[in-house]
């Protein structure tokens, strides 16, 4: 199965969604999500211990907080994908990622436990997207007041983590 790139009619290309979708190369979000499992795992395992809790500026997340954010976001976007694939008509709520990170203690969690969560969530994510048919992938809904569907959310997820890995490379390592 392949999840092809969404068209400009499936999401607002002027929104934050586009920044993440355009980060993904290739033509299959499912393949990227599967490949990113080991890429993200290896990337975080290779961050020096002293850098895991480093902030490059006040108020910025540490790498371990960023990993926690990636896990949280995947859970939320998977719920959105499930909802729109099943025909939810109400606009799904947005979330304030900064408040989510502040409300937890990712910096007190071990890298191992967060990576275990990430890998378990990613395996579930891939299995879910593999289970969807064409109609479910393209059924339109709204999230955070923006048009979306499961295909868009698969591409968003794949690009979201690539975005954060790029930030980590540029500003932390």
Give the model's pLDDT for residue 1. 87
CATH no. for residue 58? 1.20.120.450
DSSP letter for each residue of 44-67: HHTS-GGGTT--SSTTPPPHHHHH
User: Domains in the chain: how many in total?
Assistant: 1
pLDDT at 127 over 90: yes
Tell me if 123 is assigned to some domain: yes
**Cα–Cα distance, 86 to 102 (Å, whole number):** 32
Q: Which residues form the domain of 112? A: 16-171
**pLDDT tens digits, residue range 54-81?**
999 999 999 999 999 999 999 999 999 9
Confidence (pTM): 0.95
Kind of pairing, strands 146-148 and 141-143?
A: antiparallel
172 pLDDT band, cuts 50/70/90, is confident
Tokens in use for 34? 């599967």
Helix (H) or strand (E) holding 18: helix 16-21
Mean of pLDDT values over 121-131: 98
DSSP letter for each residue of 93-133: P---HHHHHHTS-GGGS-HHHHHHHHHHHHHHHHHHHHH--
Tell me if 4 is assigned to some domain: no
Contact 95, 76 (CB under 8 A): yes
Per DSSP, what are the bridge partners of residue 84?
none
Tell me if 142 is assigned to some domain: yes
């Amino acid at each position: 199965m392949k999840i092809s790139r969404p068209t400009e009619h499936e999401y607002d290309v002027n929104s934050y969604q586009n920044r993440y979708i355009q980060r993904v190369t290739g033509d299959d979000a499912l393949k990227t999500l599967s490949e990113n499992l080991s890429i993200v795992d290896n990337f975080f395992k290779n961050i020096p211990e002293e850098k895991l809790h480093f902030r490059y500026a006040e108020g910025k997340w540490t790498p371990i907080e960023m990993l926690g954010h990636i896990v949280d976001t995947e859970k939320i976007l998977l719920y959105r994908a499930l909802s729109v694939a099943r025909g939810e008509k109400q606009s799904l709520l947005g979330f304030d990622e900064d408040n989510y990170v502040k409300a937890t203690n990712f910096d007190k969690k071990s890298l191992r436990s967060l990576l275990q969560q990430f890998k378990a969530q990613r395996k579930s994510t891939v299995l879910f997207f593999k289970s969807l048919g064409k109609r479910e992938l393209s059924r339109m809904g709204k999230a955070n007041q923006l048009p979306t569907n499961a295909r868009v959310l698969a591409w968003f997820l794949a690009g979201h983590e690539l975005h954060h890995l790029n930030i980590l490379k540029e500003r932390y390592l």
